[in-house]
Amino acid sequence: MTARSGPLAGLLVADFSRVLAGPLASMFLGDLGATVVKVERPGTGDDTREWGPPFVGTMSTYFAAVNRNKRSVTLDLADEADQALARELCRRADVVLENFVAGRLAAFGLDAAAVLRENPRAVYCSISGFGSGPGAGLPGYDFVVQAVGGLMSLTGPADGPGTKVGVAIVDVVTGLHAVIGVLAALRERDRTGLGQHIEVNLLSSLLASLVNQASAFVNGAKVPRAMGNRHPSIAPYETVATADAPLVLAVGNDRQFVRLCEAIGRADLAGDPRFDRNSGRVTHREELVAELERTLHSGTAAHWASLLQAAGVPCGPVNALDDAIALATTLGLAPVVTLAGDPGPALSTVANPIRLSRTPVDYACGPPELGRDDAAIRAWLAS
């Protein structure tokens, strides 16, 4: 296997996961230098290979989003010879990732208990929808978890139905939690020489990600509800109308509120006893927003954003994705990386957001075509 560079160089990840949470986790490990072997079903591979349009060549852009820096081998786990190769891969691996239905991998000798018996140094990470208890048999789909986990009840207009977030955010967060767990277990292995079994699930990851909203509930407050773009505890922290488009204001403290008022020529609002403290602004939010919009209607969102940013007030327009990528580019964040096809056409990928000063992220290869590395990996496992 070709050596990689990066802080995780020398580690081998056996990736039996598919769709989003697991592949995102393994991609981040690959970005940091681990060698990732993605195990896929012969003929079809990861479900997301066909989740399009859009496509780049024959590959869906969905699959391309979370599968760079990997090798692809096709193994039929119902075939005894391929099972043996899969077990050998796990025996050699530092990390094993999977998101199969609970109990499914035990039939192939690839469950955590079996792998850790053969390879006590392995870090084995299982990703599920609802954990390994009574909910083990429930299918874990991000959209469903957003609904049953309470996120949709907090998202959307206050007087409308619950709304999902525009991306599979629970899968994304769960994948990042998986990476954190894997890195922690690897550090523990450095001390003890032993791996362990990690479990992460979508529902728990979502609940942990509700942070202040969840804390307010579990400490005895009312059940939170959707407030549109408003913040339950801070004001003004929402979208406000201007002459042409909405503007986001994220005024997090009294000093910023004073700067806002001075910048728009409404110093009187900062001295109003209803608004001079955040608690009062939350209580009198409707009156405050009405006063702000009365003034902001005299200029465009771009005008006010420029003026307020110069004054140190957190704010911004509601950008579409093209404008967001353009902004990141202007700020020198290099948000897009173009990778050569292997084979196939070149494709672009959103850059890994982690910046390391000595061991930077490495974009060794683009997402693999199904079974691209079959011959090489099968030969290596058989050797």
Catalytic residues, which ones? Answer: 171
- Measured distance CA(45)–CA(370) in Å, rounded: 6
Amino acid at 73: V
DSSP alpha helix (H) spans, 105-168: 112-118, 142-148
Separation of CA 220 from chain center: 30
- Measured distance CA(249)–CA(380) in Å, rounded: 57
CB of 83 closer than 8 Å to CB of 108:
yes
CB of 31 closer than 8 Å to CB of 361:
yes
Query: What H or E segment, with its residue span, contains residue 358?
Result: none
Cβ-Cβ contacts under 8 Å for 192 (sequence gap 6 or more)? none
- Measured distance CA(36)–CA(21) in Å, rounded: 15
Cis peptide before 246 (omega within 30 of 0): no
Q: What is the dihedral of CA 207, 212, 215, 221, to 10 degrees?
A: -120
Which residues are bridge partners to 128 per DSSP? 201
- Measured distance CA(43)–CA(295) in Å, rounded: 62
- Measured distance CA(20)–CA(97) in Å, rounded: 12
- Measured distance CA(363)–CA(324) in Å, rounded: 23
Q: Measured over all CA atoms, what is the biggest interatomic distance in the chain, rounded to whole angstroms?
A: 79
CB of 124 closer than 8 Å to CB of 22:
no
Length of the chain measured in residues: 383
